[in-house]
């Protein structure tokens, strides 16, 4: 079984709709991250959480919100989706900080906003 | 943030070694150098990381310059399955990753 899972894997929605992307992990990590990837580009950090009570904005948080329901679950919401939020979304987890811990990524969610 | 510079693309022949360069002249003394790769239609996967010394693992080797301003990821025998985008990233104590554009590696049979 995959250590980091994301649901849904694909989603098509309309402008103005609220949508939630979910991430679950079985690695027992405290740190979780949400990234966005536009075609042909690298990943950009949206939000990150170092534990259940600690949530921080990343580079591109406008238009997004998150919820850390438990150590294992981290959800990303688009309150009112717009077409330029069409992208691939990845969740990741890591162990404690220190710069030497790698991040483990989920398979991604492909979101299309019409 | 430690900015990294990589070539946009590289080509290799199958079963030959590949050396993927990365410049990170602004890296701080405590930033680890991480390499990830992203296969088509998949999330990034960790390849290797190091601080000062060269590192080897089952996937690759990492050669770090003595001044730490550059590093090279070495795939000893490229296979078709190694075709991917390779990202070189400076990872600070907060474990924040800043992805650049990476190097797209193409492997020819």
pLDDT tens, residue by residue, B95-107? 678 888 899 999 9
pLDDT value of position A41: 87
Cβ of residue B72 closer than 8 Å to a chain A Cβ? no
A43 contacts on B by Cβ (under 8 Å): 44, 97, 99
Using CA atoms, how far apart are residues B88 and B32, in angstroms rounded to an integer? 10
Comparing alpha-carbon positions, the chain A residue that sits nearest to B104 is A40
Q: Is there a contact between A105 and B43 if contact means CB atoms under 8 Å apart?
A: yes
Task: Nearest chain A residue to B94 by CA: give it.
Answer: A97
B16: confidence class by pLDDT, cuts 50, 70, 90:
very high
Query: What local confidence, expressed as pLDDT, does residue B60 receive?
Result: 96
pLDDT at A23: 98
Distance from CA of A9 to the nearest CA of B (A): 11
Residue B8 scores a pLDDT above 90: yes
Cα–Cα distance measured from residue B11 to residue A21, given in angstroms and rounded to the nearest whole number: 36
Establish if B1 touches chain A: CB-CB under 8 angstroms: no
Residue with tokens 């001044």: B67
Do the chains contact at A106 and B34, CB–CB below 8 Å? Answer: no
Q: Is A98 at the interface with chain B, CB within 8 A?
A: yes
Burial (CB count <10 Å: 0-12, 13-18, 19+), residue B103: buried
Q: Specify the 3-state DSSP secondary structure of A80.
A: coil
Candidates A70, A88, A55; CA nearest to A24 is A70
Nearest residue in B to A105, CA atom = B43
pLDDT of B14 over the 60 cut: yes
Quick one: pLDDT at residue B1?
A: 56
Q: How far is CA B64 from CA A76, B11, B61, B73, B102, in A?
A: 37, 22, 10, 9, 18
Nearest CA-CA distance, residue A26 and chain B, Å: 17
The tens place of each residue's pLDDT in chain A, 114 residues long, gives: 679 999 999 999 999 999 999 999 999 999 999 999 998 888 999 999 999 999 999 989 999 999 999 999 999 999 999 999 999 999 999 987 667 788 999 999 999 999
**Predicted pLDDT at A74:** 98
For residue A77, what are its two tokens? 């919401």
**What is the reported pLDDT for B28?**
83
By the CB < 8 Å criterion, does B17 face chain A? no
- Contact: A102, B49; criterion CB under 8 Å: yes
Confidence label for B109 from pLDDT (cuts 50, 70 and 90): very high
């Amino acid at each position: 079984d995959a250590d980091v899972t994301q649901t849904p894997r694909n989603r098509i929605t309309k402008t103005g709709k609220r949508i939630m992307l979910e991430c679950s992990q079985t690695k027992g990590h405290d740190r979780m991250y949400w990234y966005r990837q536009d075609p042909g580009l690298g990943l950009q950090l949206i939000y990150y959480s170092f534990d259940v009570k600690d949530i921080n904005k990343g580079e591109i948080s406008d238009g997004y919100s998150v919820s850390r329901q438990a150590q294992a679950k981290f959800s990303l919401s688009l309150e009112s989706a717009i077409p330029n939020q069409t992208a691939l979304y990845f969740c990741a987890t890591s162990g404690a900080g220190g710069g030497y811990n790698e991040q483990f990524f989920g398979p991604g969610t492909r979101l299309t906003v019409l | 943030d430690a900015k990294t510079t990589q070539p946009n693309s590289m080509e290799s022949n199958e079963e030959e070694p590949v050396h993927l360069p990365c410049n990170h002249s602004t890296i701080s003394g405590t930033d680890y150098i991480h390499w990830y790769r992203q296969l088509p239609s998949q999330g990034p996967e960790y390849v290797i990381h190091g601080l000062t010394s060269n590192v080897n693992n089952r996937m690759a080797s990492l050669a770090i310059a003595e001044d730490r301003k550059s590093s090279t990821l070495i795939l000893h025998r490229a296979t078709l399955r190694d075709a991917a985008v390779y990202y070189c990233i400076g990872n600070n104590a907060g474990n924040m990753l800043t992805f650049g554009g990476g190097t797209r590696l193409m492997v020819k049979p």
